[in-house]
Amino acid sequence: MTVPSLFIGVVSYEGSKYPQAQGPEGLAAQLETALHERGRECTLVIDTSNRLNTAQTPVSDADVQAALSAQVHLEGEWDRYIRASQGSSVRGRAHTASRWLRRGWQRFAPPGKSMVERLLNIELAHQALLRQGLTSRAPWILILEDDAWSANIDDLADGLMDLLERADVSVRFINLSESFDLSELGIKHLLGDSDYSWHGSTTRAVLSAQQPVTNTVCAIAYRSYFAEQLLSAYASMPMRPVVPIDWKLNQALMDMHSSGSLGVGSCWWVVPGPIDQLSMRGDP
């Protein structure tokens, strides 16, 4: 059995706004073709399953409220985590106040139960794809959400495989999406130059993080042994209250950093990201 150079998993669902992600015109299929042309074998899995059994585990109005509160608390923890070296700021306090004002309004006008159901299905799909990536024995696992897109597949294929093959063994995961701006995320002070460069046709910087940080889970490459650690961390967390998988990953990173298992240089960022997140950037 040939071990693939890369496992590519796509999180999608029936009725998605981005159905092209599930077919030959999607980013994952195009990337797989481009890598095959470059002599790299890949395993591609597109996951459109709804694994949540609402008959057995129904979502209640209380679950919705608990999910909203849990995310606000987790956002506050993340702010303290990324700003630990800077201390409190007027901007940070303003963001905290804004979050709690929004949370107060949501007590009277919450989103529907389908929001929580969708978050659970997305989480289950991410975890299932990580497990399938481990089964494939590929050294790296790239998980894409279906709004991931690249206008330059050749740049992505050349730069990505060169980067994954040359990445230092201390690198556990690489953020590849151009989702939120670094200034908006408030993490510029945590990112510095690495010893590596992007070998695609577009000029991009490969930055190394002082502590592990994320953008969104739209497009992240996980080293296989880190994916295994991450699945173990997820398994130790309760399913409810429900938080988006983006925030569940952030919780895992904070815990791993606190325990000393993830430190300087364990996380890389490609800036600007070679993969756009269409839900934030517009259609291709």
Q: pLDDT tens digit string along 24-55? A: 999 999 999 999 999 999 999 999 999 998 88
Which of 235, 252, 265 is closest to 77 using CA atoms? 252
Element (H, E) at 155: helix 153-166
- Determine the pLDDT at residue 282: 54
Rounded mean pLDDT, 244-271: 96
- Determine the pLDDT at residue 89: 55
The Cα 95–Cα 101 span in angstroms is 10
Rounded mean pLDDT, 263-281: 94
Identity of the residue numbered 38: R
Q: Does the pLDDT at position 275 exceed 70?
A: yes
- pTM of the predicted model, to two decimals? 0.92
- Determine the pLDDT at residue 196: 95
- Determine the pLDDT at residue 106: 58
- Determine the pLDDT at residue 108: 67
276: left (phi over 0), alpha (psi -120 to 50) or beta: beta
- Determine the pLDDT at residue 284: 47
- Determine the pLDDT at residue 88: 56
- Which structural domains are found in the chain, ordered by start? 6-281 (3.90.550)
Tens digit of each residue's pLDDT (9 = 90 or more) over 217-230? 999 999 999 999 99
Band of pLDDT at residue 85, cut at 50, 70 and 90: low
Cβ pair 271, 207 in contact under 8 A: yes
Q: Which residues contact 218 (CB under 8 A, 6 or more apart)?
A: 144, 145, 147, 148, 177, 179, 275, 277
